[in-house]
Structure formats: C-alpha cells, structure tokens
Amino acid sequence: MNQPHILHPASRPVKLVLEDGTEWTGWSFGSETAMAGEVVFNTAMAGYPESITDASYRGQILVLTYPLIGNYGVPGKQREHGMLKFFESENIHISGLIISDYSFDFSHWNADQSLSEWLKEFNIPGIYGIDTRTLTKHLREEGAMLGKIVFDEDIPFINPNVINLVDQVSTKEVIRYGKGKFRILLVDCGVKNNIIRCLLRRDTEVIRVPWNFDFQSVEYDGLFISNGPGDPKQCRETIANLHHAIQGDKPIFGICLGNQLMGLAAGGDTYKLKYGHRSHNQPVLQVGTNKAYITSQNHGFALDDSTLPEGWKPLFRNLNDDTNEGIMHVSKPFFSSQFHPEASSGPTDTEYLFDDFIEKIKNHKN
C-alpha cells in the first residue's frame, strides 16, 4: 500500500482486486460503492474531466498514471449547442478511478466542485494511495484484465467486452445541431462532444442518430461514424448499414471505433490489444510520407489492416507498435483515424482531418 501525501479522516480502506489474484489496497474518495470492470491505464498528464466523461471508457476501471489528480477540480455545467461545454458527454462512464494521490483542495477559475463530489453524484468509487506506477507496469506485462473495487462485501468480476456497450451509451433519439451548409449524418456509437463541436465549426448541420439507425433512406452530404466503447464486433447493425453505405460514393469519415467498424464493414478483421492505447502522446505516421503526429488515443481494440480487401489501404500507423491508426479507400472518399483528431483532451495537431472531410463533401457535391 502506497502512503498518500494526505490521508483524509473520512477515507476508508478499499481494495482493488484483479482477476489474477493480485490485490491493491488504498483509501476511498468518491462513492463508497463496490464496482467491477476492466482495469486499464491512461498516461495523460491532464484532462481527467474529459476522459471520465468519454463514453469509450464505459465498463472500465481507469488508472491514471499522473501522480496528482483532483487539483483543478471539476468544471461548471455551462452549455453550448445544447451540450455540456467542458465535458465529453452528459455522464461519467468509467466504473471506477484509481490514482496515486488525491488533492482534497482544488483551485481553478472554472471549478464548480471537487472530483470526489462529482464521483459521488454519479455513484462512482475512487481509490487513492495506490502505487499506480507499479500497477501500470503490472498491466503492461500481464495485459489489461478484469478487476473490482471492494469495500466490505465481495462482488463478482464483470467482463464488459462481451456486452454491447455501444447500445448503452448511444443516443436513443435523433438529435439535430446547427444549421450549416453541409448535412452530416453522425452515427453515435458513444460520440465525444468535441467531435460535434469540430463539425459545427465547419458550416455543418449535424444529425445525430442511434448506433443501429438504418440511415439508407436519409439524405445527407457526409456520413460520420463515431468513437465508442467495447468490442466493435458487437455492433452488428452498424457494420451491416456501413457495408451498404460503402457500396455508394458519399464521403465517410470514422474516428476510433469508427475506424474499426469501417474496416469490418469492408471485410477486414479486428483484434484486442494487450493493454490498449490511452494517452496524449501516441506518435503516428501518415503512410507514404515522413509526416508524424502526436495524437490523443483511447482504445483497446485494433483493426488488422492486412485483412482488408482490395481497394483499401492503411492511412496511418502507430510508431510505437506498428498497429493500424487509420484507413482509406483508394478511389472513393472514405477514410478514418484510430486516434482522436478532435482531442479534448490532448494535442490538436490532426484536427485538419475534419477539413479534409468537408473538402471531400464539397468535391462530391460539385
């Protein structure tokens, strides 16, 4: 057990138990609620409000490697375009939060409440006083694994990857944003708010539809497939609808899970990474060039681009492990990125991909 800098008198001892039998003991903050999920780590130095509200973390217990968390609190709930301005969705999606040292005192011009208060609001447990460096090394060596946060009574492990998590986080109704020139049909598999913001800044009307929405009869200028949680093969309806869409020639852009779904719709295959990519410093190379970008990422599955049929090719590759980071069609205006060009949080070096998408729409319309 790693002794924290400050032990709050109201904190209770709490355990993180991994499926390999290892146990990690710390102190509680947030809700004193037992919770189970898949334990993963993120090496970003900032951006915990954005990460915690990213639907791609649904069903996961998140380990943050940066040593001090909570020091700038949680932003206020101002809205823009009907969405929370400083969050990536309406809800907290993680199943639990594991950190080294929790800052009970917070300070920021936009802070509205503490991280602990926010977690309690959504009934999510947190643990501080854990040696997150050692825990992360363990997960890197053994791979992401199931875990549970336990207070008094034991609970069973839960494997989120056998559940259709996308169905849990996707919108249940059609939502419209903006009144721009270009109509974007956005298939919501767990979309981050900043993706919608990036599209709206480019003279668009965004029509957000459920993950299993049959969009074949809808008029649109460009099709967008969002990020989201879990195993992409759970999204059978999305894959079937996408397979039909790629028979046409209207521009398509996918991000993160959207990249994997496009690959599956084209006839390729996906697989689970040992411990995934979750950070702000993932280097990617644009295939066929010497251009490298530092990107924000959050995914546990990857597309095997060697299984893609003729007519498709990789667009980006990860410079750390050579995994796929995006694909494109050789003759049609279809492309994707495994990383997050909208960032939030993280580097914005690749936001130009939204401009490329709009340019493809313009060319297609002309």
Mean pLDDT, residues 173-195 taken together: 98
Crossing angle for the helix pair 236-245 and 257-266, to the nearest 10 degrees: 60
CATH number at residue 85: 3.50.30.20
Q: Tens digit of pLDDT for each residue in 135-179?
A: 999 999 999 999 999 999 999 999 999 999 999 999 999 999 999
Residue 189, token pair as written in the block: 């598999």
355 in the same domain as 222:
yes
Residue 175, token pair as written in the block: 């939502």
The strand pairing partners of 299, in sequence order, are 277
Give the pLDDT of residue 6. Answer: 56
Domain ranges, residue 55: 13-162
Task: Tell me the C-alpha to C-alpha distance, in Å, between residue 326 and each of 111, 258, 260, 287, 305.
Answer: 36, 10, 9, 9, 9
Question: Which residue has better confidence, 40 or 4?
Answer: 40
In a domain, 5, yes or no: no
In a domain, 361, yes or no: yes
75 in the same domain as 52:
yes
Q: Which of 256, 299, 325, 329 is catalytic?
A: 256
342 in the same domain as 208:
yes
The strand pairing partners of 146, in sequence order, are 38
Instruction: Judge whether 168 and 237 are in contact, CB under 8 Å.
Output: no
Give the pLDDT of residue 11. Answer: 83
With 80 as the cut, is the pLDDT of residue 361 above it?
yes
Which helix (H) or strand (E) segment is 176 a member of?
A: strand 175-177
Q: Tens digit of pLDDT for each residue in 90-112?
A: 999 999 999 999 999 999 999 99
Q: Is 342 a catalytic residue?
A: yes
Question: Which residues neighbour 200 within 8 Å (Cβ) at sequence distance 6 or greater?
Answer: 81, 177, 178, 180, 206
Mean pLDDT, residues 8-30 taken together: 92
In a domain, 294, yes or no: yes
| Entry field: residues in the chain | 366
With 70 as the cut, is the pLDDT of residue 183 above it?
yes
* Nearest-angstrom CA–CA distance, 139 and 117: 28
217 in the same domain as 90:
no
With 70 as the cut, is the pLDDT of residue 45 above it?
yes
CATH number at residue 210: 3.40.50.880
* Nearest-angstrom CA–CA distance, 220 and 347: 30
Give the pLDDT of residue 366. Answer: 87
Residue 308, token pair as written in the block: 């893609």
Torsion sign over Cα 292, 195, 230, 267? negative
Q: Is 256 a catalytic residue?
A: yes
Task: Tell me the C-alpha to C-alpha distance, in Å, between residue 327 and each of 99, 111, 257.
Answer: 35, 39, 12
Task: Tell me the C-alpha to C-alpha distance, in Å, between residue 304 and each of 233, 273, 283, 298.
Answer: 13, 11, 18, 17
Q: Tens digit of pLDDT for each residue in 200-243?
A: 999 999 999 999 999 888 999 999 999 999 999 999 999 999 99
Matching residue, tokens 């913001």: 197
182 in the same domain as 104:
no
With 90 as the cut, is the pLDDT of residue 22 above it?
yes
Q: Which of 93, 138, 277, 340 is catalytic?
A: 340
Give the pLDDT of residue 216. Answer: 86
336 in the same domain as 212:
yes
pLDDT band at 8 (very low <50, low <70, confident <90, very high): low
Instruction: Judge whether 251 and 366 are in contact, CB under 8 Å.
Output: no
In a domain, 8, yes or no: no
Query: For the chain, what percentages of helix, strand and coil (3-state, to nearest 5) are there?
Result: 20, 35, 45
Please count the structural domains in the chain.
2
Report how far Cα 6 is from the mean position of its chain's Cα atoms: 31
Question: Which residues neighbour 5 within 8 Å (Cβ) at sequence distance 6 or greater?
Answer: 101
Calculate the average pLDDT of the chain: 96
Share of the chain above pLDDT 70, in %: 97
Beta strand pairing call for 204-210 and 175-177: antiparallel
In a domain, 233, yes or no: yes
Longest dimension (CA), the chain: 67
Tell me which DSSP letter residue 77 carries.
-
Question: Which residues neighbour 234 within 8 Å (Cβ) at sequence distance 6 or greater?
Answer: 163, 164, 165, 166
Beta strand pairing call for 68-69 and 111-113: unpaired
In a domain, 41, yes or no: yes
Q: Is 108 a catalytic residue?
A: no
241 in the same domain as 277:
yes
Q: Tens digit of pLDDT for each residue in 53-74?
A: 999 999 999 999 999 999 999 9
Give the pLDDT of residue 332. Answer: 98
